[in-house]
Amino acid sequence: MSILVYAEHDTENLKPETAKVVKAATQMGDDVHLLVAGENCQSIAEQAAKLAGVAKVLVADNAAYGHQLAENTADLLVEMAGGYTHIVAGATTTGKNFMPRVAALLDVAQISDIIGVESDDTFIRPIYAGNAIATVQTADKVKVVTVRAASFDAVDESGSADIEAVDVVKTSERSSFVTESLTESERPELTAADIVISGGRGMQNGENFSLLEGIADKLGAAIGASRAAVDAGFVANDMQVGQTGKIVAPQLYIAVGISGAIQHLAGMKDSKVIVAINKDEEAPIFQVADYGLVADLFEALPELESKL
Amino acid sequence: MKILVPVKRTIDYNVKVKVKADSSAVDLTNAKMAINPFCEIAVEEAVRLKEKGVADEVVVVSIGSKSCQEQIRTALALGADRGIQVETEDALESLQIAKLLAKVVEEESPEMVILGKQSIDSDNNQTGQMLAALTGMPQGTFASEVEVNDGKVKVTREIDGGLQTVELTLPAVITTDLRLNEPRYASLPNIMKAKRKPLDVKPAADFGVELESHVKVLKVTPPPERQGGIKVADVDELVEKLKNEAKVIS
Ligand SMILES: Cc1cc2nc3c(=O)[nH]c(=O)nc-3n(C[C@H](O)[C@H](O)[C@H](O)COP(=O)(O)OP(=O)(O)OC[C@H]3O[C@@H](n4cnc5c(N)ncnc54)[C@H](O)[C@@H]3O)c2cc1C
């Protein structure tokens, strides 16, 4: 088994998901290579080389990979695929974007968003917003797999893999990067935080999210949201937790003014401890909450902040 | 400009599915079915582009058994012009669907293909990207804004860190995210009109595509149930429990 893992980064930092995706890869086989593609990504390669279980880091450093355009990244991976039994990436918006292209160009299926590895060809993945769990086996020679990072522990940083340059440049004429607006935040990333506090439609507007910020500051928590809160324009899209947003599994998840629709639960129900604050005692969120507080959030949140 | 919109028949998003007792699949007996919500957003976007004069024809295609004609009719009622059903009784995988769609693209030569980013049943998030790869088209996935200009399309994409805008040369594939638009409700007259719009049925076998499955579903099980917890009386009790019982804060 020889596994090529795509390392996710923002040019400055290796994303914390990568160490978890490597963990999943090591369960598929033991010869794990990490591909770092990007522009000026040498320091990423050095960070990647420390991940335990990685035998080799391959670096494709070229402007063509600067914004992880799906067309260029997929072509690079396809070119490199020879000799690998598995191609693996995180089920992030980056991985989801280019991996199906890789699969199609290799004429193989993709196994999306796995939460478990049964063997080198058999994987476990949620379907129907996590209301069913499928065990699937692929007959393909090359297995193209995306991994739900929240379901795996991170490998540690005790490794010291060799770093090798890759001299493949793939540039699509038909797709180009225009601009990016990334949310700047001092808080931990949603998908990496130990504690997440999320607000829903019950927050009523964007300003009221400051009630969550005070608590998040005290707990070192990330802030999330339901789709309703994002759709209503209270907060940015990258804060959406759920079936079609981000999947989180922190130690503590606090849902505030969120009813608990199945699509939201799909994104957080694997959290270790769930707290729900909602004024409607019949809200479905209470069915998954370890601790439910039936209260008006506008009274409960300031009190909670003062008592932490 | 012609826009092709592939749509999928899926379970209604309000239904919470159960797994069959023999662990072979989810139980869809008598389940309410609907057009996949992301596909509906795709249809709406195509129809809006037509209303703006950017597109002149919107063609919907669905791959499946006769029942998916219902979803094609739904799309026609929302304003699409004609439908194509690629008929098959098999539950195909994304790769096979993408291969069939690539053949439809070959026949129809659309300037744009708009699809939902994922279907809420298999949750794969693959078909659009695969179709783009197979047809050599560039892709703009998870779109929250689409702007067509001069043979190019600018797509604003919802990504984990925020938003990214890419520019693609047409023809291109776009997949929709939730905030691209809010689909309209079909009016009764439009539902009646949709019944008379053309709908071609073509057997999947006629496309000369290898339809064999690559992936075997070994079993489907219910997810681990979370034990419901307790209600706390007030904020004091909540803080006390989190500190001393759950030990998740200090
Ligand atoms: C295709 C598709 C994909 C989707 N994907 C996602 C997804 O990824 N993530 C997601 O979250 N949703 C998703 N949804 C939407 C989902 O179905 C729900 O509509 C959404 O989660 C509801 O958000 P909410 O709980 O904030 O709002 P509501 O359901 O309106 O709930 C608001 C809650 O706030 C409570 N409340 C109001 N005021 C107060 C107060 N003063 N104090 C305390 N409590 C109060 C109310 O009692 C209520 O329970 C998706 C839907 C579709 C169709």
Superfamily of domain covering A2-165? HUPs (3.40.50.620)
Q: For residue A273, what is the nearest residue in chain B, using CA coordinates? A: B246
Residue B73 has pLDDT above 90, yes or no: yes
Instruction: Examine residue B235 and state whether it is found in any structural domain, yes or no.
Output: no
Give the 3-state DSSP-derived string for A256-291, with helices as H, strands as E and coil as C.
ECCCCCHHHHCCCCCCCEEEEEECCCCCHHHHCCCE
Among A87, A108, A128, most B C-beta atoms within 10 A, so best to mutate, is A128
Q: Label residues A229-263 b or e (16+ Cβ within 10 Å = b).
A: bbebebbbbbbbbbbbbbbbbbebbbbbbbbbbbb
B132 touches chain A (CB under 8 A): yes
Nearest to B84 by CA among B60, B116, B110: B60
Q: Which DSSP symbol is given to A131?
A: T
Kindly report the pTM of this predicted structure. Answer: 0.96
Q: How far is the CA of A259 from the centre of ligand 1 (A)?
A: 5
Contact in structure between B137 and A105 (CB atoms under 8 Å): no
For A41, A183, A192, the CA distances from A47, given in Å and listed in that order, are: 10, 23, 17
Q: How many domains does chain B have?
A: 1
Instruction: Examine residue B247 and state whether it is found in any structural domain, yes or no.
Output: no
Instruction: Examine residue B45 and state whether it is found in any structural domain, yes or no.
Output: yes
pLDDT in tens, chain A (308 residues): 899 999 999 989 999 999 999 999 999 999 999 999 999 999 999 999 999 999 999 999 999 999 999 999 999 999 999 999 999 999 999 999 999 999 999 999 999 999 999 999 999 999 999 999 999 999 999 999 999 999 999 999 999 999 999 999 999 999 999 999 998 888 999 999 999 999 999 999 999 999 999 999 999 999 999 999 999 999 999 999 999 999 999 999 999 999 999 999 999 999 999 999 999 999 999 999 999 999 999 999 999 999 99
Question: Which CATH number do you get for residue B156?
Answer: 3.40.50.620
Q: H or E segment at A22?
A: helix A16-26
Task: Pinpoint the residues of chain A covered by CATH 3.40.50.620.
Answer: 2-165
Range of the domain at B168: 2-224
B165 touches chain A (CB under 8 A): yes
Please give the sequence-ordered ranges of beta strands (E in DSSP) within B36-132, or none if there are none.
57-64, 82-87, 112-116
A185 carries a ligand binding annotation: no
Q: How far is the CA of A276 from the centre of ligand 1 (A)?
A: 13
Q: H or E segment at B230?
A: strand B230-232
Q: In what order do the strands lie in the sheet with A143-147?
A: A110-114, A143-147, A86-90, A2-6, A31-38, A54-61, A162-165
State the architecture of A195-307 in CATH terms. Answer: 3-Layer(aba) Sandwich (3.40)
Distance from CA of B7 to the nearest CA of A (A): 17
Q: How far is CA B171 from the centre of its chain?
A: 20
Q: Which residues pair with A72 in a beta bridge?
A: none
Distance from CA of A35 to the nearest CA of B (A): 20
